[in-house]
Amino acid sequence: MRITIFGSGYVGLVTGACLSEVGNDVLCVDVDERKIAMLREGRIPIYEPGLEKMVRDNVSAGRLSFTTDVAAAVAHGLFQFIAVGTPPGEDGSADLQHVIAVARSIGQHISEYRIVVNKSTVPVGTADRVHAALAETLAARGAQVEFDVVSNPEFLKEGAAIDDFMRPDRIIIGTDNPRTTELLRALYAPFNRSRERIVRMDIRSAELTKYAANAMLATKISFMNELANLAERLGADIEQVRIGIGSDPRIGYHFIYPGAGFGGSCFPKDVKALEHTAREVGYEASLLRAVESVNNHQKEVLFEKIHQHFNGQLKGRTIALWGLAFKPNTDDMREAPSRVLMEALWQAGVRVRAYDPAANEETHRIYGDRADLELCESLEDTIADADALVVITEWNEFRSPDFAAIKAALKSPVLFDGRNLYDPAILAAAGFTHYSIGRPVRRPA
């Protein structure tokens, strides 16, 4: 099939690469000429395991190409995917200007039947706005061309996006036309072989499903962090509690890990956007407000522990930080807990020495050169003569470090474990003061 994808960011690029991987002819269009030039060379502007090779292979095979030519893009594909960003506004609403701009661009150039597939995360009712913008543009041209608009939200986890696309849990298709349902069913047939994964519903329900999924996962995280803060005050161990409740199949183990708060491009933005949507229709979404409030506070917990440990005497100290990205296997720093921590440390006069396997470059892009930030090339470089070590992202290479070497390198053996990676008893036996999330402080035996 011939497919056009507007937007060559995270969602658009993964979608284009995976659809071309199974034999489709995919053309990605973007207004960023520099990005298009990079992609034509087989290089990608984001970090996602396996994606660069998939892009390079399919570009070489002629199944995946990139352009800035909107007219050529509209002429290319029966399916016109919209996969552009919907950044949050100051009031939490999703900014749809790029989505509507794409709809108008399609309307300016469409000459035969097209299926406009909304892949971007958008509020309920966006498909109606896309349809109206496209129809208005056609009317201004004096043209009559048939088209359909459908909702096909993405459910990609950063760091595992290729596997999520190639082996999806579900494929949500929101349509109001049986013909488009069957055409999309044919498009997704290569990903739907072992069992039925397609869930067909009306367009508005599909739009809400995406927000509902992310809001539910964010709620589970904030709930566990709320319990973790309570467990600390009660002398309980949240990790034991997690196992106790996760063994109940009605709850399960997914997304009930306490930590330093959630970040990234999806959960924070989508919770705010769904809360804003609720307000627009006269409903106060109290639970969503609480999820956001708990998460904002949770990002401050590590700094509070550091401040308390050093009795507020932080100025002039050096803190080693393992992890910068909001989660492992990505370089995404959007809404990352590390940013809240670093900015609080800097405000207190602390020098940060940090390492992340993927996000050093992105961190430098955000903060530039500054005297109180040193981005290191290895774990070992961060800890030399630091006053304490903080672990804030659960990269695999952080899971089983040499604690004796860490203790020898630090000025004082203090470890703040923001993801509960380590056994408190082992750390205490190794001579560390160990702070974690939702567990009592352990000091050297």
Give CA separation, 243 vs 63, 120, 238, 257, 438, in Å: 46, 35, 9, 10, 13
Question: What is the bridge-based pairing of β-strands 64-67 and 25-29?
Answer: parallel
Helix (H), strand (E) at residue 171 = strand 171-174
Closest to 295 (Cα-Cα) out of 321, 270, 322, 329: 270
Contact between 145 and 75 (Cβ < 8 Å): no
CA distance 204 to 124: 5
| Cβ atoms within 10 Å, residue 138 | 18
Q: b vs e for 118-130, b when ≥16 Cβ sit within 10 Å of the residue's Cβ?
A: bbbbbbbbbbebb
The residue with tokens 């367009």 is 203
DSSP annotation of 137 reads H
Q: Which sign, positive or negative, has the C-alpha torsion 431, 416, 158, 175?
A: positive
CA distance 155 to 210: 8
28 is catalytic: no
Alpha helices in 82-202 (DSSP H): 97-109, 126-141, 161-166, 178-187
Closest to 403 (Cα-Cα) out of 379, 419, 376, 375: 379
Residue of 18, 28, 266, 376 marked active site: 266
CA distance 59 to 41: 8
Walk across the sheet containing 388-391 and list its strands: 373-375, 351-355, 318-322, 388-391, 414-417, 433-435
DSSP annotation of 81 reads E
Contact between 382 and 322 (Cβ < 8 Å): yes
Q: Residues with Cβ < 8 Å from 435, sequence gap 6 or more?
A: 305, 309, 414, 415, 416, 417, 441
Closest to 45 (Cα-Cα) out of 29, 27, 32, 61: 32
CA distance 101 to 383: 49
CA distance 167 to 188: 11
Closest to 200 (Cα-Cα) out of 172, 220, 228: 172
Residues with active-site annotation: 266
